[in-house]
């Protein structure tokens, strides 16, 4: 096996796997513990394409992951496995720690012992920067705004873990970088903003673009229903389509020397940024509907604004998102209609 994809039955992992040419499927190994109910839906598709799969909980199966890496010495590992819901990290920080930190450390140790040439790309998060309350914000009718010619947050911002989720992802993030500095391993970190697109089985607190798109489709095709938004709805995020992310991961393997040992902010950038209110306004206009929502208390440690500055990754890899939000959201809406996932929200 040349490529391992941990968390490979998830949203990003499934899309990466299916992007390979069919004749190269034999080179892929999907590793997932199927802890998320929706992972089984993606697994059916992966098995249909005869992609190899192993049901392993990396956090609890140190020996199994060591044996796999020792045996295959993969060219690259796309490390996407982990606990990704903020609410679950607060409910059970112990599981959150093991899902994100122990799993990552088990892979790194196996690489250090048995496969030092393997490339590891770790999927991190913008939450490692904390709530960013040290910035000065204003607000208009639809969004929070950072003044002074703001062009997005760079990697120069200090790490500031403000939640169990940020702490676990940030710890893993730093381990990945340290194993490059200390042991010379071929590792890099991508700190993602909001990723969206096909085969995303979202929930209320994970995958907000898909969740609100599905609410809109349900209101259009089934019946009108009320739903909640956190805070005042002016929180801003940049969004990046899954097809752009897939291209980045695969391009990174081919040009890894340029990014070894570095961390990158990865997102849609300023031109692909939305507040919750702006997204809902867009959906109302696009689908010719009126959405009925109410506001609840804002989530703890929620950033008012996060927009990635992609200059560093563009400088090193010439990568930038090419799918604008209009095209991307059109595709997202079509997938929601096709999959009928809107019936479950």
Q: Count how many Cα atoms sit within 13 Å of the Cα of residue 341 in the half-sphere of its side chain.
A: 21
Where in the sequence numbering do the catalytic residues fall? 165
19 DSSP 8-state letter: H
Q: Count how many Cα atoms sit within 13 Å of the Cα of residue 80 in the half-sphere of its side chain.
A: 26
- How far apart are alpha carbons 291 and 223 in whole angstroms? 11
Complete DSSP assignment for 201-238: --BTTB-HHHHHHHHHHHHHHT---EEEEETTS--EEE
Name which of 149, 98, 153 is nearest 125 in CA terms.
Answer: 153
Tokens 């990466």 — which residue?
A: 16
CA dihedral 290→294→299→305, nearest 10 degrees, is: 40
Burial of 257 per CB tally in 10 Å (0-12, 13-18, 19+): exposed
- How far apart are alpha carbons 53 and 9 in whole angstroms? 9
- How far apart are alpha carbons 120 and 76 in whole angstroms? 6
- How far apart are alpha carbons 11 and 245 in whole angstroms? 11
- How far apart are alpha carbons 176 and 202 in whole angstroms? 27
Q: Show Cβ contacts of residue 248 under 8 Å, excluding neighbours closer than 6 positions.
A: 190, 266, 313, 317, 319
């Amino acid at each position: 096996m040349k490529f391992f994809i941990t968390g490979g039955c998830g949203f990003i992992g499934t899309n990466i796997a299916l992007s390979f040419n069919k004749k190269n499927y034999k080179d892929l190994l999907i590793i997932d513990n199927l802890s998320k109910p929706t992972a089984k839906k993606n697994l059916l598709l992966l098995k249909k394409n005869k992609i190899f799969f192993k049901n392993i909980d990396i956090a609890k199966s140190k020996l199994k992951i060591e044996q796999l890496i020792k045996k295959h010495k993969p060219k690259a590992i796309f490390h996407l496995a982990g606990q990704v819901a903020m609410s679950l990290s607060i409910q059970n920080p112990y599981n959150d720690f093991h899902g994100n930190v122990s799993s990552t450390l088990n892979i790194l140790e196996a690489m250090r012992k048995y496969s030092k040439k393997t490339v590891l790309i770790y999927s991190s998060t913008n939450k490692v920067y904390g709530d960013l309350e040290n910035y000065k914000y204003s607000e208009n009718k639809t969004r929070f705004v950072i003044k002074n010619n703001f062009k997005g947050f760079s990697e120069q911002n200090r790490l500031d873990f403000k939640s169990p989720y940020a702490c676990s992802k940030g710890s893993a993030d730093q381990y990945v970088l340290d194993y490059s500095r200390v042991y010379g391993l071929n590792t890099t970190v991508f700190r993602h903003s909001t990723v969206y697109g096909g085969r995303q089985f979202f929930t209320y607190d994970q995958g907000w673009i898909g969740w609100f798109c599905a609410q809109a489709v349900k209101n259009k095709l089934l019946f009108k229903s009320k739903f909640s938004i956190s805070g005042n709805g002016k929180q801003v995020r940049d969004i990046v389509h899954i097809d752009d992310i897939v291209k980045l991961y695969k391009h990174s393997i081919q040009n890894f020397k340029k990014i070894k040992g570095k961390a990158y902010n990865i997102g849609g950038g300023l031109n692909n940024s939305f507040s919750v209110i702006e997204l809902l306004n867009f959906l109302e206009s696009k689908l010719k509907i009126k959405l009925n929502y109410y506001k609840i208390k804002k989530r703890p440690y929620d950033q008012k604004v996060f927009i990635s500055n992609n200059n560093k990754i563009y400088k090193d890899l010439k990568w930038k998102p090419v799918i604008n939000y209009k095209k991307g959201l059109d595709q997202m809406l079509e997938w929601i209609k096709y999959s009928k996932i809107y019936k479950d929200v």
